[in-house]
Amino acid sequence: MASEAAIGTDRDGAEASGFPAGPDLVHPGIGPYRLAWRRLLRNRVALFFGGLFILIVVLCLLAPVYANDIAHTGPNVNHITDVVKVNGKSEEVVSSTGLPIGPTWQGRFLLGADKNGRDVAVRLLYGGRNSLEVGAIATLITMVLAVIVGLLAGYFRGFTDGVLSRLMDIIWAYPALLLGVALGVMLAVSGINLGLFELRGGSLLIPALIVGVVYIPYVAKPIRGQVLGLREREFIDAARVQGLGNLRIMLGEILPNLASTIIVFVPLMLANSILLEASLSFLGAGVQAPNSSWGTMISDGTRYIPAAIHLVLVPGLMLVAAVLGVNVFGDGVRDALDPRARIRIER
């Protein structure tokens, strides 16, 4: 078969100078990311959980629509004295004994009310927005700073590495939750004022900043290790022989090789950040009232167990679904990008 022979020459026969000229034989190169994307598309479980997370994100983004058009209330509106009709019967939103109504499975108070007569479903979606927002900003802070620290420490080694790595060790020496609580208690209410840089107490950026900083070493260390290995590869020598400077080698040669690690860390850090934010908020060191987040809702609800268990169950299940979704999806992304990689987050 002439055509097959021709393909054979084209493949390994670099060596030959007479390659077939047929343009149809030269397919464009398939890059590592295209291959990873194909592997990810074959992983149904990862796609399902990724879809679950996206669904939660979309629902939370639609919170105002739900509040205005279906529940006809806001996240911070009290209905302590209201009466709502359930299956034709009138029921008090908050009973005379102070017990809030359970799920009604209809437009108003779909998932019940809390002790102030606020709609749990509305608060759940608005709280989800805060939880996801804090998680996303924290992940962004972690990734940007960790990549910078890891690149500098791994590339320059020596003194720079010593200073940066010891700095990371200081953060790492404290358990993440404990450090987060300590910083949160200190900063969440009073705010941060560094002259030019000022955050008022109660701002969502404060818990995001705390969570983001606490997790930097968990990403910076593995990236530093990878850079230490990459800088010894021959293609770095090749770049140096071409006269490229340190900055261009770091950004142009090393960073593209870190991309898959970074992509793998994003969903994993997102899950961890959402969890840490929930823990901080649960302990009162995260999102501050009247803002809600899944963590604060669980915290508020614990006092009404077991009579009004929905106050804890609803945000708890939402938190589990979101974290599980992003975690399983993240595992799938890791498997797709490098089937042999074993990047694990040490906890």
- Write down the least CB distance from residue 326 to another protein, Å: 26
Are the C-beta atoms of 288 and 169 separated by less than 8 Å?
A: no
> 26 or 317, CB closer to another protein?
26
| Cβ partners under 8 Å of residue 103, min gap 6 | 109, 110, 111, 112, 310
Report the alpha-carbon distance of residue 123 to residue 131 in Å, rounded: 12
> 28 or 195, CB closer to another protein?
28
- Write down the least CB distance from residue 155 to another protein, Å: 15
Q: Which two tokens stand for residue 233?
A: 């590869």
Q: What angle do CA 249, 167, 200 make, to 5 degrees?
A: 100
Length of the chain equals 347
Report the alpha-carbon distance of residue 108 to residue 244 in Å, rounded: 64
> 14 or 83, CB closer to another protein?
14
Interacting residue ranges for another protein, rule: CB under 8 A: 10-12, 14-17, 19, 23, 26, 28-32, 233-235, 237-245, 252-253, 256-257, 259
- Write down the least CB distance from residue 17 to another protein, Å: 5
Q: Which two tokens stand for residue 168?
A: 């990371």
- Write down the least CB distance from residue 338 to another protein, Å: 12
- Write down the least CB distance from residue 7 to another protein, Å: 12
Tell me which residue of 116, 119, 123 sits closest to 80, measured CA to CA: 116
What is the DSSP-derived secondary structure letter of residue 104?
Answer: -
- Write down the least CB distance from residue 149 to another protein, Å: 21
CA dihedral for 57, 61, 65, 71, sign (positive or negative): positive
Report the alpha-carbon distance of residue 160 to residue 339 in Å, rounded: 33
> 41 or 238, CB closer to another protein?
238
> 115 or 157, CB closer to another protein?
157
Report the alpha-carbon distance of residue 249 to residue 255 in Å, rounded: 8
> 246 or 302, CB closer to another protein?
246
- Write out the DSSP string of 195-242: TTEEEETT-THHHHHHHHHHTHHHHHHHHHHHHHHHTTSHHHHHHHHT
> 183 or 336, CB closer to another protein?
336
- Write down the least CB distance from residue 255 to another protein, Å: 9
- Write down the least CB distance from residue 19 to another protein, Å: 5
> 97 or 242, CB closer to another protein?
242
